[in-house]
Amino acid sequence: MSDLRYALRDSATMLRRYLRHLRRYPAMAGMLVGMPVVFLLIFVYVFGATLGAGLGEASTGRTAYIAYVTPGIILMTVAVAATATAVSVCTDLTEGIVARFRTMAIWRPSVLAGHVAGSLIQALLAMTVVTGVAVLIGFRPPADLAQWLAAIGVLALFVLAITWLSVTLGLLAKTPETASNTPMPLMLLPFLGSGFVPTASMPAGLRWFAEYQPFTPVINAVRALLLARPAGDNVIVAVAWSAGIGLASYLWARRLYNRDLVSA
């Protein structure tokens, strides 16, 4: 039991360290919000009327498209946050302070846990702001409280999984430049899924990929919950993907962190 207490205590200490860094350099957090918001505005005001007309749903037009695209933009925020996490993990591990942590009798994964908890908070805040902007420009989800909580739960679990994945990518990268490049494909996944247009409108090969990649069930689940529509098996599939990605990434990250620090 006391082991668990120390694990939590050390992780909380590392989280405080991470949040201090964040407070001292708020520019990074600004990017997390800025980029999805710009995409939201472009997709709603530039493409919105045309794409809305092509949704093939009961209501069409720009307002309908805001409702359709907002879950996609929220998932894009997850991908942007992943890049930030990978860069900050990679940068941090080149610092002497992490070598010092390794020589101390602390709960070993606490350095990584601090990064994950910090990134999770950061990503959830960014998603809140992005959703707020969507509401400002006309997003009016009909969801009730239970559906909101379910949507937040699905998103939080997915963010946790993607954060552990980006910690792994940050540990794998030799330089912060590499760390900022490797999570790039994640940014494309909302596009190559159901984030911006229905997958049914895509050509066969792409459509197959779009329907089976992990972002699609998460986007579909969040969209169904927020728009108070039947979610089908999307919630279950989204949770399964999150659990799988999260667990595999956590184990991989822990292994990478425990390897020899000096390799030459």
Partner 1 sequence: MTHPGGPAAIAVRGLRKSYGDQVVLDGVGLEVGAGTICALLGPNGAGKTTMVSILTTLIRADGGAICVAGHELPAEAQAVRSVIGVTGQFSAVDKLLTGEENLLLMADLLHLGRAAGRRRAAELLGQFGLAGASRKIAATYSGGMRRRLDLAMTLIGRPSIIFLDEPTAGLDPRSRRALWETVGELRASGVTIFLTTQYLEEADQLADHIALLDHGRLVAQGTAQELKRLVPGGHVSLKFADAAGIESAIRALGGGASAGEALTLQVPSDGSVASLRALLARLDDPQTEIEQLSVHTPDLDDVFLALTSLPPAEKELSG
The residues of the shown chain that bind partner 1, judged by CB under 8 A, are 6, 9-10, 13, 16-17, 20-21, 24-25, 95-97, 99-106, 260-264
Give the residue with the Cβ less far from partner 1, 97 or 206. Answer: 97
Greatest alpha-carbon pair distance for the chain in Å reads 63
- What tokens does 104 get? 């101390």
Of the pair 25, 45, the CB lying nearest partner 1 is at: 25
User: Would residue 175 be called left, alpha or beta, if left means φ above 0 and alpha means ψ between -120 and 50 degrees?
Assistant: beta
When the beta carbons of 116 and 224 are compared against partner 1, the nearer one is 116
The single residue listed with the structure tokens 């390897």 is: 259
Q: Tell me the closest approach of the beta carbon of residue 18 to partner 1, in angstroms.
A: 10
Quick one: DSSP state of residue 202? S
The nearer residue to partner 1, 205 or 260, going by C-beta atoms, is 260
Question: From the CB of 115, what's the least distance to partner 1, in Å?
Answer: 14
b/e per residue, 216-239, with b = 16+ CB within 10 A? bbbbbbbbbbbbeeebeebbebbb
CA pair distance 153, 159, nearest whole angstrom:
10
Q: In the complex, what is the shortest distance from the CB of residue 93 to partner 1, in angstroms, rounded to a whole number?
A: 13
Closest distance between partner 1 and the C-beta of residue 82, in Å?
22
- What minimum distance in Å lies between the beta carbon of 262 and partner 1? 5
